[in-house]
Amino acid sequence: MFDPASLKYDANGLIPAIAQDVASGEVLMMAWMNAEAVARSLESGRVTYWSRSRAAFWVKGESSGHVQELVELRVDCDRDCLLVLVRQTGPACHTNRRSCFYTAIREGAEVVIAEPMAG
């Protein structure tokens, strides 16, 4: 059986979790989980992070409706990073963009490469 306590957490008890859109392969965001957030994500099928700023569990989309349905959780070789494959409803980013990684560095300058989603 998989035990969330078997993962390697940082000094704050957190592990980075990368959310990837299972349909498009797009990397949507990176946020943090503690052991309980990992357990809740697996149990509920709703990706649940730990909000460092609010010091509270953060069921992604709970207030915005932009939920992440957990398709699969993967662990890396060092057991200190997670990849969550998700079905993302709407934008993952608080700026209303699909992905948080909408700024590219091109020829030494920052370029915005994605616009907020409509609606």
The smaller minimum CB distance to a second copy, of residues 16 and 90, is found at 16
User: What DSSP line would sit under 36-68, residue for residue?
Assistant: HHHHHHHHHSB-EEEETTTTEEEETTTTTS--E
CA-based torsion, 62, 46, 88, 28: positive or negative: positive
The verdict on 36 binding a second copy (CB under 8 A) reads no
Binding-site member from 18, 46, 69, 89 for a second copy (CB under 8 A): 18
10 marked ligand binding residue: no
User: In the bound complex, what is the minimum distance in angstroms from residue 64's beta carbon to a second copy?
Assistant: 14
CB 22 within 8 A of CB 70: no
The smaller minimum CB distance to a second copy, of residues 24 and 44, is found at 24
Residues numbered 46 to 105 that lie near a second copy (CB under 8 A) are: 72-78, 81, 83, 93-95, 97, 100-105
**Tokens 């697996």, located at residue:** 42
